[in-house]
Every structure is written in C-alpha cells, then in structure tokens.
Amino acid sequence: MTPSPTGLPADELLLALQRLKGSSVGQLGSNLVGGGGIYANPIQNTLRKDVRGIANMIPGVSQKAAVKAGRFAGRALPLLSGVTNVLDVADIVTGDESFGNKAMDATAMTAGAAIGGVLGGGVFSPLTASIGASTGKLLSDGTQWLFGDKKTPEQRKMELALAQLQGGGMY
C-alpha cells in the first residue's frame, strides 16, 4: 500500500473521503465533538488516552474522573482549535489593519499550518496544522505590536481627528 500525504494508506483515505462526501454538516459537527459519527476519530481517541494517562498520574484523581477529563479533552480540543481558526480568519478579513499587516498575518497562518501539519504527522496532522495556524497568527500579531507603534486603529483615528481639529483652525 502506498501511503498518502496524510500518512494513511491510500485506500483508507479514499474510504474516508467517500464517507465524508455523503455527510451533512450536522453529521460532521456531531462527529467532531465526539458524537456517533461517520467514522472513528483517531485524534479524539489518542487525546482521550493521553489525557487519561496524565490524569492518572495526579495523586487523588479517581479513574472515573481521569476518563471524564480525557473524554472532554478529546471532544473539546478539535472544536476549540477550529473555532479559533475561524476567528483568526475573521480578524484578518474584517480588521482595521493595513494590507501589509493582513498579508503578514495570512502568511504567518499559512506557515504555521504547514509547520504544524508536518510536525504532527499522521493522525494528528489536521489538529496540529490547525493549532500551528493559530500560533502563526498569534506570533504575527505579537511581532506587529512589538515592532509597531503600539497603537490601536481607534487611537490612530482619534489622533488624526485631533490633528485635523487643531490644524484646521476649529476651536
């Protein structure tokens, strides 16, 4: 079997795509948060096991609580990551920043997604790509703040209005 770029064998990827093709948005959302679904989500299963293992190492945490914590993490992390990506893209599209800042944000998100996807590999590739995209946007915004003029678009508008009032002879 020849592996696909996602690390899955090509026939498994084809089967997953066929199942995905016949799905509604509601079914996809239900599967993403751990409901019964169109395919088993290996990301959730791995996260569930890892968090349960970590919770078991903490003194005083019962096995039942560890299982619940693992189940919650397996359902919440992919959903939170997706929501964060949507908010990051919305910020780029609707923000008051200059075109240069928006281009830098988009480039940083793309680079972060590529790095995250490569580092995650296999099963974790979509999740780590999503986390990488948000991390790239965060680093881009931090860089812009650190090396920029540290003013919000509203502060710049207020300064411009004040300069126009003072320079225009209005009292």
Tell me what the mean pLDDT of segment 136-150 comes to: 88
More confident residue, 45 or 169: 45
pLDDT at 135 over 90: yes
Q: Encoding tokens for residue 139?
A: 């680093």
pTM of the model: 0.58
CA distance 168 to 162: 10
List the single range of 2-6, 14-18, 88-92, 154-158 with lowest mean pLDDT: 2-6
**Could you tell me if residue 101 is inside a domain?**
yes
The residue that leads in pLDDT, 125 or 12, is 125
22 inside domain: no
pLDDT-derived band at 140 (thresholds 50, 70, 90) equals: very high
pLDDT band at 36 (very low <50, low <70, confident <90, very high): low
Q: How far apart are CA 48 and CA 42, in angstroms?
A: 10
Tell me if 21 is assigned to some domain: no
Q: How high is the mean pLDDT of the chain? A: 77
Highest mean pLDDT among 12-21, 29-38, 125-134: 125-134
DSSP string, 104-116: HHHHHHHHHHHHH
Tell whether 85 is covered by a domain. Answer: yes
Distance CA 118, CA 126 (A): 10
- Total number of domains constituting the chain: 1
Flag whether 35 is in a domain: no
Position with higher pLDDT, 148 vs 141:
141
| 88 is a domain residue | yes
Alpha helix ranges (H) inside 58-98? 63-94
- Asked whether residue 69 is domain-assigned, the answer is yes
Phi, psi torsion values for 3, nearest 5 degrees: -70, 150
- Mean pLDDT value of segment 101-112: 93
Domain that holds residue 118: 41-167
Query: Residue 168: what pLDDT?
Result: 65
